[in-house]
C-alpha cells in the first residue's frame, strides 16, 4: 500500500473516496435523547455535502459506524465516507486508529483502491498523534489472513493518503506519520509470522525470517540450535524441543545505538512455540489447529525489535526468542520428569502442556547473562488468563512497581489493553515441588498467576514484566477495523515501553 501525507483543503482533493470522521455530541440523557452527529472538519463544502443525511437522523456517528455518499455535491471526491468515533467526550486518537482501519476495510470489498482519510479537526485530537494513529490503523486494517487461498484476490488498498489541515504543524505531523508507518508495518510483520502454518513456519524458518529482518533493519542477529542449547545447559528449553524432528532455534537480536555505552539494557524475551500439541499431555483435537499461533509472543518481540531498529531510540536492547515445537514423540519429555534449567533450578514436570514457561525460563536467564538489566517477556501462556480477563485485556505481571508503571504509561500511546494481576508468596507456594525446586504447574486455580510466579523465579531480582497475551493474540471474529486472525498485540506497547528508557 502506497502511503502519503497531504496538507490541503478537503473539498479540492480529487480522489475515489474521501473519509471524514464524525462524533456524537449529544449530551442529554434519558430515553428520548437523540444522537447529534457532527463532522470533525472545518471544510464548509464537505459539511454541506453531508448536511441532509446528518439532519435526517439516519446516521448516528457511533464508533466505527459508516455511511457512504456517492457524488457529493461541491466536493471533488467521487465518494464521501462518514466514519464515526462515537461519543465526543470519549473519542481519542485510539478511536482515530480504529476509524482508519474501518475506512480501509470498508473500501476493500468494494473494489475501491484509493482512499484519502481526513484527520479530525478537534482540540482533543492533536494532528500529529492522529496522523500516527491513522496510518497505523490503515496498515493494520489492510491485512487479510487468506495467504494460501488458490483463488485469492488482491483487494488491498493501493493508495492511502492522510489529509491534514492546511494550517497544521507540518514537521510534527510528518514525523508522526513516518513513525506510524514503521509501527504499523512492524505490527503486520508480527501478524504475518503468527498467521503462518506450523508446517511452514518451523523454528528454523522463524530464525531465518528473524535473520532476514535483522539484516534489512541493521540489527545484529545470531541464530543458534541444539548444540548451543546444550552448551548453555538450557535443559528446560531443550526438554520441550526434544520430542520433535524439527530442531529448536534460539534467536538473539541486538540493537546497539551509536554513542550509548551505559545505562539500562532491555531484554525482550518471547515464547516461540511454532506448534503446540501439548506433548505427552496432549491437547483435545478441537481447536488444536490454532496452536500454530503459540509463537505469538516471540513474533511480538521480533516486531518490536524491527520497530526499535528503525525508530532508533537511545537505549540498548536485546531480543531473545526461544522457538521450538512441542510434540509427543517417543523422545518427548514426560510428566514426572525432572529437568535442570540454565539457572541451575530443577523443575518437576507435572504437565507437558505447560511448556511455554520452560522455554521462557531459559530465555530470561540467558538475557540476564547477556547483560539485560530490565526484562520483559511475552507469551500466549495460559488459558487461565483468558478465563480471568476474557478477550478484552491481556494480563500483565511484574516484580517491580516502577518498571510496571513505565509500561502502564506506554499504554496511553499504544492504545492496547493490559490488566495487572497479582503475585505473592501464597501463590509461589503452589509451585513448590517435593522432588525438585519448583513444579511447572500449580494446579487449576490461579493458573495465570502461578505461571507468572514460575517465571519470576528465573527473573530473580531483575526488574521484570510478564505479558500473558493468550486471549488477545488471535481475533476470533472480524471487526470493522481488523480482520479475523492474528492481531499483532503487544508490539506497540513493548516499543513504547522500550522508548521510555531512552537516554
Residue with cell 488468563: 385
Phi, then psi, of 372 in degrees rounded to 5: -65, 130
Strand-pair partners of 223 = 251
Give dist(CA 433, CA 430) in Å, integer. Answer: 9
Distances 493 to 184, 288, 455 between C-alpha atoms, Å: 12, 28, 20
- Annotation marks residue 357 as catalytic: yes
Crossing angle for the helix pair 447-459 and 356-369, nearest 10 degrees?
20
Q: Which of 97, 132, 191, 357 is catalytic?
A: 357
Give dist(CA 286, CA 42) in Å, integer. Answer: 53
Contact of 187 with 488, CB cutoff 8 Å = yes
Cell of 64: 466505527
Pairing status of strand 394-398 against strand 418-420: parallel
DSSP notation for 415-439: ---EEE----HHHHGGGB-SSSSEE
Q: Which of 87, 113, 228, 283 is catalytic?
A: 283
- Annotation marks residue 283 as catalytic: yes
> What strands lie across the sheet with 374-379, from one edge to the other?
220-224, 249-255, 316-326, 265-276, 374-379, 464-468, 394-398, 418-420
DSSP run (H or E) holding 262: none
Which residues are known to be catalytic?
Answer: 283, 357
Amino acid at each position: 500500500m502506497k502511503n502519503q501525507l497531504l496538507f490541503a483543503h478537503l473539498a479540492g482533493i480529487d480522489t475515489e473516496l474521501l473519509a471524514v470522521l464524525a462524533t456524537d455530541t449529544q449530551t442529554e440523557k434519558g430515553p428520548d435523547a437523540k444522537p447529534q452527529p457532527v463532522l470533525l472538519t472545518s471544510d464548509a463544502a464537505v459539511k454541506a455535502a453531508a448536511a441532509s443525511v446528518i439532519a435526517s437522523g439516519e446516521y448516528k456517528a457511533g464508533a466505527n459506524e459508516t455511511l457512504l455518499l456517492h457524488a457529493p455535491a461541491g466536493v471533488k471526491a467521487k465518494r464521501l465516507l462518514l466514519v464515526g468515533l462515537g461519543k465526543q467526550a470519549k473519542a481519542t486518537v485510539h478511536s482515530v486508529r480504529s476509524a482508519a482501519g474501518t475506512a480501509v476495510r470498508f473500501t476493500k470489498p468494494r473494489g475501491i483502491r484509493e482512499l484519502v482519510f481526513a484527520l479530525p479537526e478537534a482540540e482533543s485530537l492533536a494532528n500529529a498523534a492522529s496522523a500516527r494513529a491513522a496510518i497505523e490503523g490503515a496498515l493494520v486494517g489492510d491485512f487479510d489472513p487468506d495467504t494460501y487461498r488458490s483463488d485469492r484476490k488482491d483487494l488491498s488498498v493501493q493508495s492511502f493518503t492522510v489529509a491534514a489541515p492546511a494550517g497544521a504543524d507540518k514537521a510534527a505531523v510528518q514525523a508522526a506519520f513516518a513513525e506510524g508507518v514503521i509501527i504499523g508495518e512492524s505490527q503486520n510483520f508480527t501478524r504475518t509470522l503468527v498467521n503462518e502454518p506450523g508446517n511452514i513456519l518451523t523454528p528454523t524458518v522463524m530464525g531465518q525470517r528473524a535473520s532476514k529482518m535483522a539484516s534489512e533493519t541493521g540489527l545484529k542477529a545470531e541464530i543458534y540450535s541444539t548444540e548451543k542449547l546444550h552448551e548453555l545447559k538450557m535443559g528446560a528449553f531443550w526438554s520441550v524441543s526434544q520430542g520433535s524432528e524439527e530442531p529448536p532455534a534460539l534467536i538473539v537480536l541486538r540493537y546497539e545505538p551509536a554513542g550509548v555505552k551505559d545505562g539500562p539494557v532491555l531484554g525482550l524475551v518471547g515464547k516461540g512455540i511454532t506448534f503446540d500439541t501439548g506433548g505427552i499431555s496432549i491437547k483435545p483435537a478441537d481447536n488444536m489447529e490454532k496452536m500454530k499461533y503459540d509463537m505469538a509472543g516471540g513474533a511480538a518481540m521480533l516486531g518490536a525489535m524491527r520497530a526499535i531498529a528503525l525508530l532508533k531510540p537511545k537505549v540498548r536492547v536485546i531480543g531473545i526468542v526461544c522457538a521450538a515445537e512441542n510434540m509427543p514423540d517417543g523422545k518427548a519429555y514426560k510428566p514426572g520428569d525432572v529437568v535442570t534449567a540454565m539457572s541451575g533450578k530443577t523443575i518437576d514436570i507435572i504437565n507437558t502442556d505447560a511448556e511455554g514457561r520452560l522455554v521462557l525460563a531459559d530465555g530470561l536467564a540467558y538475557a540476564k547473562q547477556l547483560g539485560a538489566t530490565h526484562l520483559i517477556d511475552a507469551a500466549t501462556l495460559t488459558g487461565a488468563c483468558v478465563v480471568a480477563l476474557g478477550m478484552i485485556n491481556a494480563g500483565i505481571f511484574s516484580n517491580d512497581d516502577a518498571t510496571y508503571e513505565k509500561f502502564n504509561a506506554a499504554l496511553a500511546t499504544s492504545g492496547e489493553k493490559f490488566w495487572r494481576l497479582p503475585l505473592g508468596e501464597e501463590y509461589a507456594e503452589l509451585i513448590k515441588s517435593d522432588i525438585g525446586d519448583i513444579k511447572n504447574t500449580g494446579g487449576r486455580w490461579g493458573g495465570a498467576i502461578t505461571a507468572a510466579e514460575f517465571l519470576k523465579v528465573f527473573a530473580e531480582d531483575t526488574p521484570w514484566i510478564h505479558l500473558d497475551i493468550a486471549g488477545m493474540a488471535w481475533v476470533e471474529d472480524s471487526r470493522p477495523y481488523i480482520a479475523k486472525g492474528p492481531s499483532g498485540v503487544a508490539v506497540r506497547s513493548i516499543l513504547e515501553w522500550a522508548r521510555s528508557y531512552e537516554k
